[in-house]
Structure 1
């Protein structure tokens, strides 16, 4: 019973063709290199280091600042 349903579905989709990944990539108009879809630039290593330090430093430092605030408040 399941085989008959899959054969019928195969006959319905026989003429349908989906765009391939290469056709989508070629139709974009320009070549994309790794890192083009990131919200920050990878071209300047010093700026990238500063961004990473601020991002991870704020996440690691906030709990310590919260504890310091609570201890000074008491």
Structure 2
């Protein structure tokens, strides 16, 4: 039993490490390489993109609640 369990854990560990190694885009290990925006675009542009991204994501539920409350009147 221990032999089979050890072999199974070895195969799982080997599979997961190869998936991590093959799964990246661009240069592996470079921070920001897998982001959908260009980090070298400038601080103002990145700030506007991130504000828009998080503003829509975090503001949408509040807008839906406000719309449903106004619609109920």
Name the residue aligned to 2:52.
Answer: 54
Task: Give the gaps of 5 or more residues in structure 2.
Answer: 4-26
2:37 aligned with 1:35: no
Deviation at 1:46, TM superposition (A): 0.8
Residue segments in structure 1 that go unaligned for 5+ positions in a row: 4-31
Moved over 6 A (4+): none
Correspondences of 1:1-74 after superposition (within 5 Å): 32=27, 34-43=31-40, 44-74=42-72
What corresponds to 2:13 in structure 1? none
TM-score by length of 2: 0.51
What is the TM-score when the length of structure 1 is the normalising length? Answer: 0.50
More helix by share: 2
Equivalent residue, structure 2, for 1:9: none
Match of 1:11 in 2: none
The alignment's C-alpha RMSD in Å is: 2.8
Bigger Rg, which one: 1
Deviation at 1:36, TM superposition (A): 3.8
